[in-house]
Amino acid sequence: MKKTAIYPGSFDPVTNGHLDILKRALRIFDSVIVAVTDHRSKGPLFSVQERTALFRQAAQGLKGVSVENFNGLLVNYARKKGACAIVRGLRAVSDFEYEFQMALMNRHLSQRKKEPLETVYMMPDEKYTYLSSSLVKEVSRLGGDISHFVPRSVSAALLTKNRIPVKKT
């Protein structure tokens, strides 16, 4: 039986840490659906369509990955897609409380079905534990080099959004 997981997030923008979690999830699940959420309340820099396109580019060549956007309850989306699990990344202990609450709520909401939706936490490679989309956006906005933290397409998109001239190499 094919095992599908959902990897939800705002991914504003996708980082190498997100890709690390995705690759780890692919070792466990047959397929992973990256579900880009439309969290307008977070005031994203990129639209949901831009974030979805950037993640698609970043995940190009990874077998078993699809990238979609969605809104609404995650448990409903996951059931509609036939997923058995939600994949979430944990960078530090500070992430755990929020993630724990979300996992318990998702389990509660999914228990009306015979099999509750499980949440699988994955830790990124230690070189990404400090990395966040917010930090990447801030460093980029201030003109710092983010090329080691994000895929090339994301770096270029951030430079364009921040109206920073692209250096010719």
Which spans in 59-146 are helix H?
A: 74-80, 93-110, 133-141
Residue 166 has pLDDT above 60, yes or no: no
The confidence score (pLDDT) of residue 98 equals 82
Catalytic residues: 18, 42, 91, 133
Nearest to 154 by CA among 60, 69, 38, 23: 60
Residue 116: pLDDT band (50, 70, 90) is: confident
- Show the domains of the chain with their CATH numbers: 4-161 (3.40.50.620)
The confidence score (pLDDT) of residue 51 equals 96
Least confident of 42-51, 56-65, 105-114, 146-155: 105-114
The confidence score (pLDDT) of residue 109 equals 81
Report d(CA 115, CA 134) in Å as an integer. Answer: 35
Question: What are the pLDDT digits (tens) for 65-80?
Answer: 999 999 999 999 999 9
Residue type, 40: R
The confidence score (pLDDT) of residue 152 equals 94
The confidence score (pLDDT) of residue 86 equals 96
Alpha-carbon 52 to chain mean position: 10
Question: What are the pLDDT digits (tens) for 12-29?
Answer: 999 999 999 999 999 999
